[in-house]
Amino acid sequence: MIERSATIASTVGLHARPASIFAEAAGELGIEVTIARASDPVDEAVDADSMLALMGLGVEHGELVVLRTEDDTAAEALESLVRILETNHDA
């Protein structure tokens, strides 16, 4: 399993526009990726490619999240998703 942490940079948190951008990118990877607050148990993670699930997390600006995948070859893919989360899409 590969894990990467990211701090949410968008000022409105992981809502509408940032969630849409992130979910689309996650869906295009062709691998299963989950996301959860860093403080939440692993079993509360949601599919990273589901915009509704992302918005349901209610993650706010500055919160730390963890991305996970079982694909041991996906380190670079997770890094690309981290960059999306750590970009302010509301600027």
**31-52 tens-digit pLDDT:** 999 999 999 998 999 999 999 9
Domain 2-85 has CATH 1.10.730.10: no
CA distance linking residue 73 with residue 65, whole number of Å: 21
What pLDDT is attached to residue 90?
82
2 has a pLDDT exceeding 80: yes
CA distance linking residue 42 with residue 68, whole number of Å: 9
| Residue numbers annotated as active site | 15
Q: Where are the domains of the chain?
A: 2-85
